Amino acid sequence: MTGCSLRSRVRRLSVFEGAEAVEAYFCGHRFSPHRHDTYTLGYTICGVQRFRYRGAERFSRPGDVFVLHPDELHDGWPGTDEGYGYRAIYLNPGLVSDALGGAPLPFLAEAVSRQPSLRTAITEAICDPAETQDSLAPVAAVAALADTLATLEGKRRSASRQIDAIKMTRIRDHLEATAVSSVGVSSLEREYGIDRYSLSRQFRACFGVSPWRFVILRRLDEAKRQILAGASLADAASISGFVDQSHMTRQFRQAFGLTPGEWRRLLT
């Protein structure tokens, strides 16, 4: 090793209320032992991340995910001269408890693993900055993180298996009819008499996607119709309920693997 190939830096990422998220790179920096009052959920991007946690030395490499529990002492330093980078979300444990219906917080004995479901949940929790705090997106993110932690711990929530299919169908029809307008989760809770996490969990069980993802896909359906009818990309985004064209483009790429402009050119 001849020295660090990275520049130490920290970039804050967009995330929902009750959490913080960062993308960080460190070279030569050593964290002294410290504690958070949050869950720390992340994955290593590059290099080797080395730390002591619960009396043992740990190593996290690219492709690994790590989970540090609230109030657990840990430190951190580069595992090689090359430095390391990671993405992490710091999640208020109260949100996890709420999402699990007040159940005890899940605990994972293994701090470092290669659980794809956990990496997916962490990645999807980092919000599109266009999403508001009362949208369905943060609810889906917290529910997915909490469910993944509970599943990996090995605990099941019997109450979550109770599905009100009739109510879910009514909510689906409501979301489909109002997808291009702003859909507030608080109003859905009031109208249908169900808490936001039960709504998100039951909806996914019935229809395979979260309510937020369902709304986004219906907006994309409308955007495609508008583009096919000759609307500009900016007008298609506005008519379909997206904040702006860039918001539509991000979601379009995530859903279809190409931008709206690329899709339009392929059809001509």
Percent of the chain at pLDDT > 70 equals 92
For residues 19 and 87, the answer to whether their CB atoms sit within 8 Å is: no
The CATH H-level (homologous superfamily) assignment of domain 216-267 is Homeodomain-like (1.10.10.60)
- Per-residue pLDDT tens digits for 159-190: 445 789 899 999 999 999 999 987 789 999 99
Cα separation values, 242 from 124, 129, 138, 139, 211, Å: 19, 12, 17, 19, 16
φ, ψ of residue 7 to 5 degrees: the values are: -105, 125
Domain 9-123 CATH assignment equals 3.30.540.10: no
- Per-residue pLDDT tens digits for 237-256: 999 999 899 999 999 998 89
- Per-residue pLDDT tens digits for 3-50: 566 678 999 988 888 899 999 999 888 899 999 889 999 999 999 999
| 9-123 and 216-267 share one fold | no
Domain boundaries, the chain: 9-123, 216-267
pLDDT band at 135 (very low <50, low <70, confident <90, very high): confident
- Least confidently predicted of 9-18, 54-63, 64-73: 9-18
Give me the pLDDT at residue 144, please: 92
For residues 76 and 1, the answer to whether their CB atoms sit within 8 Å is: no
pTM: 0.77
Give the span between the Cα atoms of 225 and 208, in whole angstroms. 24
Give me the pLDDT at residue 29, please: 86
- Alpha helices by DSSP H, listed for the chain, are 93-99, 116-125, 136-153, 165-178, 185-192, 196-207, 211-228, 233-239, 245-256, 260-267
